[in-house]
Structures are given as C-alpha cells and as structure tokens.
Structure 1
Amino acid sequence: MSRKNQSMALAITPQSGSIESYVSYVTSIDMLAAQEERELAFKLYENEDLESARKLIMSHLRFVVHIARSYSGYGLPQADLIQEGNIGLMKAVKRFNPEVGVRLVSFAVHWIKAEIHEFVLKNWRIVKVATTKAQRKLFFNLRKSKKRLGWFSNEEVSTVAETLGVSEKEVLEMESRMSNYDMAFDIGNDEDDSDSAAYSPSMYLQTNNSDLAANVEKEQYVEHTNNRLMSAIKTLDDRSQDILHSRWLDDNNKTTLQELADKYGVSAERVRQLEKMQ
C-alpha cells in the first residue's frame, strides 16, 4: 500500500481513544469548491479515477463526523458510528452521478445515515428492535417526538401516528420495545439471590431431562416407604431395634458385629443371625 493510500485509510478509520485527533485532522482538510468537485466527480464517473475518489471522500469526512454526532444519544461508541458513516460515504461516492446536477453532500447524506441506522439497529439492543420499514421510522423518530419523560398519552400517540404515517398500535409497540432493557440469559454467580434470579429467562425454559410428575411420585413413594419401615421397626424389642439402627440406619457411626456382641454378651454370629431375622 502506498503512503497516500495508507494516509487515506488512517483518516477514514478513526482509531480507538483518538477521536479528538481524528476530528481535528478531518476538519483541517480543505472543502472542495463546486466546480472542483464537479470535475473530480466526472473523472471518477467516466474514467474510474481512484485519485479523484480519494479527494472526494477525504473532503467530506468532516460531514460524516457531523452526522455521526447526532446519534450519540444511543450509547454506542462514537468511533464506530463515524466508521459506519464513512462506509456510507464511500458507497455514495461510488454511485454519484454528476450529470444529475446536485452536490455530493446532498446525495451522500442518505447513504451515510443508512449505514449508521443499520449499525444502531443491530447494536442498540441484543435483540433487534426494528425490522419493518414502519418500525425503523418509529425507532429513529420516537425520541424526537417525546416532549416529556414517561409514557405517551393517548393524544400524543395519535399525533405521532399521524405525523409518521403509522398506526397507533405500532407507536405503542415501539414505545414498549424502547422502554425495555437487556437482561442476561442466565444469572451469574456474582448476582445476589434475591429478585434478579427469579426474572432470569433461563428460569422459564422447559427441560426435557426432568419430569415433574414423576419426581413428585418418587418423593411420595420414598416418604411412604420410610414411614412403613419406621412403623415396623417400632414393633421389635429394644435389642433388635438397636442392632438395626447401629448396623444400617446410622450413616455416621456404624457399629461392627463384634462391638454389638460385646455389648449384649453374645457371640458375633448370634448378632448376625438376629440381624438377618429382622
């Protein structure tokens, strides 16, 4: 890549953390007079002259910065907005027909805004908030139409719908979408265990690995079996109950046959026989 092309690439792509220096650089580039712009546009249009394209693009980079700044309210990096706008500018220069008789800036504004709009729609929320033409129109005009914080009144909804040429239902739906916020799919370990976990989307998904009815039935069966076992053990004499508890029901401290034999003054074999008889 030549030094000239490197300089152009550096100017078109704002570097992270150096927006101020980028803006200072592009605003220092001289604007083209109408006649000079027309001559360069014809060279590009008729001969595909890349040097003419470079001059046309470079002289209009300040205009992209001006447009990109009007989208700063969406919380997206200014460098990204400018970069997307520059892509739109290059597309406009490629398609510009000087025979139409308009200035490049008038033609390019549509392409610059179109690229920025697409970027905002894709990155403003995790889930895309506007897909149809009416929704796109609402998304970029709804904030301008709001005269106060909070929800629209019925009168304001009717005014916005009439002004933008959409239905009142579409206005209310877009207002609701824009009032929502992104939420993590699964609450991480760093989240508290209060209300946030209850609203995690993962909590509402059905799992195929578990059957609620089967789990309840199993718990009830285990509870019923344990109750019957404890009732049966209570019918035994004290020595037999102690042997069963010591050998099978005490998980923390199981007693050996010999220890029970010493306790009751019988042989270990006799303890084993009593154990099997129960």
Structure 2
Amino acid sequence: MKQANSSLTVSGNALALAIANPGSLGTIDAYISTVNRLPVLTAEQETSLGRRLRDHDDLGAARELVLSHLRLVVSVARQYLGYGLPHADLIQEGNVGLMKAVKRFDPERGVRLVSFAVHWIKAEIHEYIVKNWRLVKVATTKAQRKLFFNLRSMRPDGKTLDSHQVDDIARELNVRREDVSEMEVRMSGRELSLESQDEDDDSYAPIAYLSDEGRQEPTRVLERKAREQMQGEGLNGALDKLDERSRRIIQARWLQDDGGATLHELADEFGVSAERIRQIEAAALKKMRGSLAA
C-alpha cells in the first residue's frame, strides 16, 4: 500500500489538474504517458480505499481510486475517436464518469471497480458525443443508439452495405435488418440539427427524446441482473426447498399465466379449508423469502 500511495503522491498535483483538463500536462501524449506510469491497485488495496471512502468520506481514498483508473478512461476514450471529437475532450468526459463511479462504488459487492466504472465512463462519453456532434443524425431508440455507436466501424471502407452485410450486422448487434438500413441512410443522408433553432419553448427537438431513462445506468444494470437471477435460479432453488403440497400451492397461486388458482379451488383439491390453504401459502412464502435472502 505504501508503494502505491507514494507513486500517486508524486504525480498527484499535476494529475489533479489533468483530471479536469487532460491538455494541462502539455500534450495528450504526455498525459497518457503519465497516467500509464501510475500503479494499478490490488484487490485488497481497492477494497480498503473503497471502505475508507464509504465509511469516512475520505477524499484522499477517492483520489487514489480515481488516479489508479485514469488509464482505463484513456483506453475507453480511444474507442470513440472516429466521431471527430478531440481525444482530450473524450478523456475529460470519461474522467467525469470515472469520478461518478468511484462515488457510487461499493467494495462489498465483490465487483472490481474497473468492471463497475467502465459503464459510467462509456455512458458519459456517449452523452458527450450525442450532445456535441452538433449535426447528429437522430438516434431515438435503443437499437438505433446501438447502431449509431457501432455502424461506422462495421461499414467496410465506409461504402454502402449490400444485403448480406446488412444481415450480418443485424445478426451481430441483435437488431432488425430494417434498423440497420435505416441508420445507414441517416448516417449517409442529410444532417439534422440536434437542438432546436427555434426560441419557442414549445418546440420539440431531437434532444428532448434522446434520453435512455437511466436503463443503462450501472446501478440499475446490476440491480436488474440480480433481480433476473432471483427470478430464475434463485426462485427455482427456493421452490425446491418446499414440501410437495406447499410447492403446488405456490405454483398454482403465483406462477400461472392465467391468473392462478383461488384459495377455494385449492381447498377442494387438498380437502382442507380455504383458511388452511392461506396459512400454508403464507408459511411457504416466508420460507422462500428466507431462502432468496440467504
């Protein structure tokens, strides 16, 4: 830990300014050379710093986490050089995403910061490109946004795609071939202003509907994955721990597409009262909640 702290401190003052403005070190090459010399934290160091930040709002710990991952931002930003925007600006926006990721990083999740931060870095760079590629061809749906950020690199020599190439790209990106053809036309056709040129507050420009409503925000992505796992393997595991009668009642009541069986229907099936079915159901649900929380 001492070695990492020492190296970070040596470059700290210059890099503190460089985070806000990568060009402040003279050239972008000088900046990249500097951040690539910073040591990479071990998992133990990262966890320790994450806990210091979370538990004590230790800004020094946050600074070390940010500095040790600046090389990641450089690597991600390099992937977006084809949009005609300065590399230094892309890095600057990516650094903003990195700092947001560090602020929200939970060392107890068992996920390394590099895996968590890459989503925030890309999201910030994507937003910057969409807002600053001033004559952006409209990308309003999830499929169109995916094509907007991938089609340029997938078009051979920038030439018009033939039907086979359209099919290949649609299959690789998991979008409709119609979406590929439409985006190709948009990226090759007339340009449309992203923001309204009309001072009327009621005007409706593309910028108004480009939002992804946070669906790709990293925390929501992790939560969605956890929920899907709970509804899949976790649910099956919890059901397996029930006795046969309890499992039948839960499946009949909650896991049917047609709305499920009533208490009275199950009471007739098992030859007991509806109240007894309700009690069995409540006990089974309680046991399942315990299994899913474990």
Both proteins in one fold, TM over 0.5? yes
- d(CA) in 1 for partners of 2:70, 2:39: 11
Task: Look up the equivalent residue of 1:50 and give its one-letter code.
Answer: L
Unpaired runs of 5+ residues, structure 1, are: 185-278
Aligned Cα RMSD in Å? 2.5
Q: Among residues 70, 74, 82, which one is paired with 1:73 in the alignment? A: 82
- d(CA) in 2 for partners of 1:48, 1:5: 19
Partner of 1:35: 44
1:138-170 CA deviation, whole Å, 9 max, x = no partner? 111213432354111122222222332222222
Could you tell me how far 1:47 is from its partner in structure 2?
A: 1.9
- d(CA) in 1 for partners of 2:137, 2:180: 16
Sort the Cα spacing of 1:43 and 1:128 in 2 relative to 1 into closer, same or farther, 3 A. Answer: farther
1:182-209 CA deviation, whole Å, 9 max, x = no partner? 599xxxxxxxxxxxxxxxxxxxxxxxxx
Q: Please tell me whether the aligned partners of residues 68 and 82 of structure 1 are also in contact (alpha carbons under 8 angstroms).
A: yes
- d(CA) in 2 for partners of 1:83, 1:28: 19
Task: Look up the equivalent residue of 2:128 and give its one-letter code.
Answer: F
Could you tell me how far 1:128 is from its partner in structure 2?
A: 4.8
Q: Please tell me whether the aligned partners of residues 62 and 102 of structure 2 are also in contact (alpha carbons under 8 angstroms).
A: yes
1:13-61 CA deviation, whole Å, 9 max, x = no partner? 2126621221122122222122111100111122221110000001111
- d(CA) in 2 for partners of 1:52, 1:29: 15
Could you tell me how far 1:125 is from its partner in structure 2?
A: 4.0
- d(CA) in 2 for partners of 1:73, 1:127: 14
1:9 aligns with 2:6: no
1:140 aligns with 2:140: no
Task: Identify the range of structure 1 (51-60 vs 22-31) with the bigger mean alpha-carbon deviation.
Answer: 22-31
Unpaired runs of 5+ residues, structure 2, are: 1-10, 194-294
- d(CA) in 1 for partners of 2:35, 2:87: 15
Sort the Cα spacing of 1:132 and 1:183 in 2 relative to 1 into closer, same or farther, 3 A. Answer: closer
Q: Among residues 154, 159, 165, which one is paired with 2:168 in the alignment? A: 159
Q: Please tell me whether the aligned partners of residues 31 and 60 of structure 1 are also in contact (alpha carbons under 8 angstroms).
A: yes
Which structure has the larger Rg over C-alpha atoms?
Answer: 1
- d(CA) in 1 for partners of 2:117, 2:17: 21
Q: TM-score, with normalisation over the residues of structure 2? A: 0.56
**Structure with larger RCO (C-alpha < 8 A, sep 6+):** 2
Q: Please tell me whether the aligned partners of residues 137 and 191 of structure 2 are also in contact (alpha carbons under 8 angstroms).
A: no
Q: TM-score, with normalisation over the residues of structure 1? A: 0.60
